[in-house]
Structure 1
Amino acid sequence: MNNQWVEFANNVKRLYGKDFVPLHEPTFNDKEVEYVTDCIKTGWVSSVGAYVTQFEEELAKFVGMKHAVAVVNGTAALHIALKVAGVEAEDEVLMPSLTFIATANAVSYLGAVPHFIDVSMETLGIDPSVLKIHLNKITELREGELFNKETGRRIKALVPMHTFGHPVDMEGIQGICNDYRIELVEDAAESLGSYYKNKHTGSFGKISAISFNGNKIMTTGGGGAIITDDATLASYAKHLTTTAKIQHSWEYRHDEIGFNYRMPNLNAALGCAQLEKMPEFIAQKRLLTKRYEQLITNLQGVHLFKEPKSCKSNYWLQTLILEDVINRDEVLAILNENGVMSRPIWTPMHKLNMFKDCPRMNLRVTEFLNERVINIPSTPIKEGIL
């Protein structure tokens, strides 16, 4: 077993032409330097400037939505998206346990309670079929709102997360939200450039969140965005993320508790350059998937996760699923010791101390994947050496 993984590590290093291959690096060239330099020369480097406006307009167009509000990171985007969607303290919010902690954190910032749902082997995201069974068992509608019979709390929203860029079954998710009268707030942090049945992820619900962290498919350094077709929600989100400041020529007036979440112009300049390259990045990501398919041909006990049916994934993080749970940490050790940065999937939220008492359904598939998933280097490549 050891020899095959050492050989795989050596092949990955040859693919990238490096002695050490990080998990994911940003890709920059002269365009980023040009835009950021221009931004510095204007003197407008904080949360007001032409690049912020340009980035919001171009991002909205890219995802096929009417409005985008650029903020400091994806967690802030999800926090505000949930707030303007009507999530309040003591509400429950349905989400996968198999997610990055930002999903659960954003709910907690509002004083709301994460309610953990199992995922599908086909998508790695929320499984609508098992969710429906769970909701039929533990919920009831009261005056048009859904309540958890076991806790007495209102269930206000459902937050699907598109794991590693792979779209969730959004048709099933939308059906759940419609039938049970809950808000759909997509966590599309990882899925910029991914499509479910030719429609961009993040465009199915009332409002959604995207991340542009340094390890995402494109980056603004640190950054995120709220996207929506609802002009009223977009305006309110922008107001809240600008410290709820009322426009005035010279006075500082605020009409509620707000947040200093707006994306700086400097970051937006970087984002404008990166967004221009998204088609290239996606093509290179998909090429990398083909290269990995070739590299794992002779590997025993593992398969490469592929995009779900009727979807086009951005393949943000390349994902291996091991057949034998016993081997996961051994494989990780071999790859990292041989210069190929790899990592397990996130610790499921229900296993973290601060969320261990949150309501949850049976998380059989989540537990299975937690023991078997490995992410391997995913920086886009132009060709790669085989």
Structure 2
Amino acid sequence: MLNYDMIIDNIRDLFNEPKEFIPLHVPHFSGNEKKYVNECIDSTFVSSVGKFVDQFELAIAKYTGAKRCVVCVNGTNAIHLALIASGVDAGDEVLTQPLTFIATVNAISYAQATPVFVDVDKDTMGMSPTSLRKFLEEETIIKEGNCYSKTTGSKISACLPMHTFGHAVRIDEIKTICEEFHIILIEDAAEAIGSVYKGKHLGTYGLLGTFSFNGNKTITTGGGGAIITDDEELADKLKHLSTQAKVPHKWKYEHDQIGYNYRMPNINAALGLAQIENLDYILKQKRKLAKSYKQFFTSLEIDFFVERENELSNYWLNAVILENKEQQQIFLTKLNDAGVMCRPIWELMTEMVMFKDCQKTNLDNARWLSDRVVNIPSSVVI
């Protein structure tokens, strides 16, 4: 029987909040946020054109080690643009994982493609290269340099793993498999800004990587997203598509293909630039919190989810793994009733009515995690 009073008291002590509500994750502002936003307002360039957009893109590229960055409205749009720009066509299939936020799969649907669900690994909560290889070896065929499903006959054009809570999937192994089967690799790194695996920032292993800067992320622009790549031509294409595919001209309105109004406003980029300037401090404080959580929950013999060898996680959302579904639900009830916000990991995408008939592998690991994982308060503690 868990001592819930002890767990609640420990979290309240960590956040120095003895009585009031403790949210799951709030943004941390301690740098140039007000200065840059006020400067943006004074300039009157608060929409999709302005210096902060350019500066924020350069800052993200420099921080992650990517050659180029294109910012956009949100992380979902970032995935949508990445899929389209990389050549995913209507009717294609995209390999992804069932244990993810629905934005991953919605974006596949926006591209008029169909998701195929591959199981996850318990120690990453992300796509399993073992499950991926088994599916591709048994269920696909290579024809004329492309991968096709034996069951549907559709082209499998992309693979979209997601780095859960900022923890890295075995992305190097997945990259090798994708290259072997002629499949484009796109990383959903929505939760992983600041996370590094084997010396490389997450999002830089694939042809494209995407981020989210929603209000609850490690750094925020209020609402926003970004795409990184080392492919200069592809980056130019992404920028073009995100600006309604408008052909540059001093006054003429000419558009050369279907485009999207996915541009990040300058005022959001101003906020983001200040945030990324302070990212190292934010990561330092979040890792200190994770260390405290690990020590405490280990003393209670509760499994606290930690980074693996060769990984430096941003610990966006801290997570505990409980014994079963019943204990998960009791934990959620006790802590939320006490004003300590906790959330379960997502329902499997294969349980959603829109995706229940999609092709999938054995999903034992994903179901096991879905029944046991709980996120606990993870904001920056000063």
Aligned to 2:374: 374
Contact kept, 8 Å, 1:75 with 1:102, in 2: the verdict is yes
Q: Distance in 1 between matches of 2:325 and 2:31?
A: 45
Counterpart of 1:20 in structure 2: which amino acid?
F
- SS of 2:354's equivalent in the other structure is helix
Aligned to 1:306: 306
Q: Give the drift of 1:109.
A: 0.4
Contact kept, 8 Å, 2:187 with 2:208, in 1: the verdict is yes
Aligned residue runs from structure 1 range 284-303, under 5 A? 284-300=285-301, 302-303=302-303
Q: Give the drift of 1:30.
A: 5.3
Aligned residue runs from structure 1 range 1-386, under 5 A? 1=1, 4-18=3-17, 19-29=20-30, 31-300=32-301, 302-382=302-382
- SS of 1:61's equivalent in the other structure is helix
- State the percentage of identical aligned residues: 49
Unmatched segments (≥5 aa) in structure 2? none
Counterpart of 1:182 in structure 2: which amino acid?
I
Q: Distance in 2 between matches of 1:31 and 1:14?
A: 29
Unmatched segments (≥5 aa) in structure 1? none
Moved over 2 A (4+): 297-300
Q: Give the drift of 1:295.
A: 2.4
- TM-score, normalisation: structure 1: 0.97
Task: Give RMSD over aligned pairs.
Answer: 1.0
Counterpart of 1:49 in structure 2: which amino acid?
G
Q: Give the drift of 1:219.
A: 0.3
Counterpart of 2:266 in structure 1: which amino acid?
N
- SS of 1:314's equivalent in the other structure is coil
Q: Give the drift of 1:294.
A: 2.7
- 1:288-331, CA deviations, whole angstroms, 9 ceiling, x for partnerless residues? 0111123224424x210001221110000001001233211111
Q: Distance in 1 between matches of 2:350 and 2:298?
A: 35
Q: Give the drift of 1:129.
A: 1.1
- 1:210-230, CA deviations, whole angstroms, 9 ceiling, x for partnerless residues? 110000000000000011111
Q: Distance in 1 between matches of 2:50 and 2:331?
A: 48
Alpha carbons of structure 1 residues 277 and 30: separation in structure 2 relative to 1, 3 Å: closer
Q: Distance in 2 between matches of 1:252 and 1:171?
A: 44
Count of aligned positions: 380
Counterpart of 1:146 in structure 2: which amino acid?
C
- TM-score, normalisation: structure 2: 0.98
- SS of 1:254's equivalent in the other structure is coil
- SS of 1:246's equivalent in the other structure is coil
Q: Distance in 2 between matches of 1:122 and 1:333?
A: 26
Q: Distance in 2 between matches of 1:154 and 1:326?
A: 41
